[in-house]
Amino acid sequence: MSTIQESFVLEAAPGTDIWRKPPTTNVWNAPISRTTSGPLKKFQSARVTFWSDWTERYDQAGLLLVPKRASSADVSPPEKWIKTGVEFYLGKPHLSTVGCDRFADWSVGPLALTANESDPTEVGGVTIEIIREGDEHGKSLWVYRLVLDAEGHLIEKIPLREICWVLANEDEVGEEWLLDVSPLVARPEKKATESLKVNFKSFEVQWLS
């Protein structure tokens, strides 16, 4: 079963972010919409294609995943989450993934175009995917950047990060875990004078039937 949304714009006001850093920082005020939800055990993948005119430090967009216990589904800010996509850092867009189990950690790398790749603005933006995978060592979620041509065909699949703690929760005895999946937009810079607008070409989530 899949949920597909196409061609929409999301906007985030200055001072919005999702971030948790010791000892006391716990920010959860990014605008969240177009969420699709289901049992964590049935989640297969999520994919988003997007782009923006990034200008402010930490401007960001992409995917947001929030695993939560069914018994505490309305807790805000949530205890655990993942966000991944593009973040504007050191004056240019970077690939970015943040995982938060207790506190957040951040991996970031340059958004370098491959030799056969079109400019992101020509193909609707950058495509990020989070997918369930498994091997002889166990199961996890993998974050990839998908390089697509102008017709949407896959050219290259670039691994960005493996996240193992999320799927450990789905085996918790006597407790059902749910997963919210949303497109992400945030503009942490409080001094910015305008909102960040992000063009989303597509947002797709796959669940087991």
Per-residue pLDDT at 118: 67
Evaluate the omega torsion of the peptide bond into residue 22 and state whether it is cis, within 30 degrees of 0: no
Per-residue pLDDT at 54: 95
Q: Kindly state the average pLDDT of the residues 135-158.
A: 90
DSSP state of 70: G
For 171, phi and psi rounded to 5 degrees?
A: -95, 5
Q: Kindly state the average pLDDT of the residues 28-45.
A: 97
Instruction: Tell me which H or E stretch contains 97.
Output: strand 92-100
Q: What is the pLDDT of residues 47-94, one digit of tens each?
A: 999 999 999 999 999 999 999 998 876 777 899 999 999 999 999 999
Q: Enter the pTM of the model.
A: 0.94
For 180, phi and psi rounded to 5 degrees?
A: -100, 135
Per-residue pLDDT at 116: 66
From 122, 53, 48, select the one nearest 85 (Cα to Cα).
Answer: 48
What is the distance between the alpha carbons of residues 187 and 182, in angstroms, rounded to a whole number?
A: 16
What is the distance between the alpha carbons of residues 183 and 63, in angstroms, rounded to a whole number?
A: 5
What is the distance between the alpha carbons of residues 90 and 192, in angstroms, rounded to a whole number?
A: 16
Portion of the chain with pLDDT greater than 90, in percent = 78
Per-residue pLDDT at 35: 97
Q: What is the pLDDT of residues 109-121, one digit of tens each?
A: 988 776 666 677 7
Answer whether CATH 2.60.120.200 is correct for domain 2-207: yes
